[in-house]
Structure 1
């Protein structure tokens, strides 16, 4: 199955996770390439924002074959699905189990190529959702289906939560000295274009693909400096010691032995700590450092241009589940 020719213009593509911001951008990119797109949505999922020209079908993931594929020919499956919270039960249900069902339905229908939106953070796994994503990645690689596993760096929306803080005169929060982490942020539009391009670009087949937006790598301090200068405000940065997060996690973990709700909060705190202390760049296991130079780049959109659009009111910050602050 891996020897199939490139997915041609005008191919039929089944998309999962189309209602998120990245899913919508990916659908738009697929349509721009001349593909016929069918979006399989959960019952009751809001379809607003999806571009014209797509076909919408609905059902539970267990009904993907009957209600989504319907015995028709599809050339590719593109999944932008991800668990909302990252909590263990949610992660294993969506990032792993749901994707297994989708893969099996696609194989039964003769789909030749799967493009999977994963995350760059799985290269250094410490959390349940990372384990779930890696387990499905391994299943996809072993399936015999041609695949493109895309692991993007940080999204614009996940780095935009503090704009309103500064506009309100509050300090920009950083962990440690604000230089613990760096990333090459990528826009939804550039990521969607990259995902869609995997169908026709042989260099992206049967590969795990870390990807960032245009460089250079940016730290939280860089973000703060740009925002304060743009808004004409004196720089006010509040440093939060990582040890504070460790103490919170320890306390919640202890209390979580009695109260399951607090156990979930402890896991969310661990997720927050991970993103506050680990760079979203390619990890070099030999040198045990994050390597900005080794982190591939794509697209044209830049984070500070997006900040300008948000400040001027031309763009709205759609954080969803991606906010730390």
Structure 2
């Protein structure tokens, strides 16, 4: 006769983002007691969870307003820098997480689940190096850890739907087949993160993860959207060199303007995603491997596209809004 695993007391960061909300919902559905540290003024989450208001970048607030000297079994973090700019990345993806880890260890937390990103396997950008630095700190901490590296999110691949509805072409970098990914939905990723708390096979591991089905290229994404909209495909190809020119100009101007220096980093982030696949990278071959990229869940990107076209859902893309 099977027994239900005991409920855990879980401290959650990043609960107000779309992935954070899905993760809190999954944790609550599994019967865990969920406490979320959120910014003041945050509205209640649509599930059973306690909200505590504070500043994750302030260690004093983290201890006073967040943990409150109480005992927790685990920390789950969906927290990430909003822009990926260097100062923001090192403050959030690294320093804030170090402070959370230190506070949790002092109070006896024994496990942490971290939402990272698959792009850190080929780091070229500040936010990737910041994430990697904390990943290593977590591995070295002695806590039971699960470092989850998802491929691509539905919301980050849905930015051109309104363009196409307005009769505009689908924008492609290069031939549209430079990159591929295995997109994962918020709900499927949230469930996977929650499962890391109780599944030993998902613990003390770095876990790349994608959604169900084969990898898809940007051109395939555009073709499916045109099919769903019942309009003839119309693509506009943007040379990657255009991004290189933008980066060069912004780098030059960034020597006299910190604001433009930050924009140069954002342009580099855009170029990275335009030229690198969000799949497991095989160092032996120097190539991305879709077959080696694990899948989970049941919701596909093209099902999401269909719901978007029918107006059944709307994406809150925030910092994922590229187009």
Q: Same fold (TM over 0.5)?
A: yes
Match of 2:303 in 1: 305
Q: In the alignment, does 2:102 pair up with 1:104?
A: yes
Counterpart CA distance in 1 for 2:183 and 2:314 is 17
Q: In the alignment, does 2:57 pair up with 1:52?
A: no
SS at match of 1:30: helix
Which residues of structure 2 form unaligned runs of 5+?
Answer: none
Match of 1:42 in 2: 39
Counterpart CA distance in 2 for 1:100 and 1:166 is 43
Q: Is the 8 A contact 2:119 2:128 kept in 1?
A: yes
Match of 2:24 in 1: 27
Q: In the alignment, which of 248, 251, 257 is matched to residue 250 of structure 1? A: 248
Match of 1:170 in 2: 168
Query: For residues 228-268 of structure 1, what are the alpha-carbon distances to aligned partners after superposition, in whole Å with 9 as ceiling and x for unaligned?
Result: 11111111000000011101111111111111111111110
Query: For residues 151-198 of structure 1, what are the alpha-carbon distances to aligned partners after superposition, in whole Å with 9 as ceiling and x for unaligned?
Result: 001000000000101000000000000000000000000000000000
Matched length:
317
* TM-score (structure 2 length as normaliser): 0.96
Counterpart CA distance in 2 for 1:209 and 1:96 is 19
Match of 2:237 in 1: 239
Counterpart CA distance in 2 for 1:298 and 1:153 is 11
Query: For residues 65-85 of structure 1, what are the alpha-carbon distances to aligned partners after superposition, in whole Å with 9 as ceiling and x for unaligned?
Result: 222222322111000000000
Listed as ranges, the matches of 1:274-313 within 5 Å are: 274-313=272-311
Runs of 4+ in 1 over 3 A off after TM superposition: none
SS at match of 2:137: helix
Q: Is the 8 A contact 1:9 1:33 kept in 2?
A: no
Q: Is the 8 A contact 1:283 1:290 kept in 2?
A: yes
* TM-score (structure 1 length as normaliser): 0.96
Query: For residues 100-155 of structure 1, what are the alpha-carbon distances to aligned partners after superposition, in whole Å with 9 as ceiling and x for unaligned?
Result: 00000110110110000000000000000000000000101001111000000100
Which residues of structure 1 form unaligned runs of 5+?
Answer: 1-6
**What's the CA shift for 1:317?**
1.4
Q: Is the 8 A contact 2:228 2:309 kept in 1?
A: no
Query: For residues 281-314 of structure 1, what are the alpha-carbon distances to aligned partners after superposition, in whole Å with 9 as ceiling and x for unaligned?
Result: 0000110000000000000000011111111111
Query: For residues 7-63 of structure 1, what are the alpha-carbon distances to aligned partners after superposition, in whole Å with 9 as ceiling and x for unaligned?
Result: 94321111000000000000000011010101111233x235x12321111112312
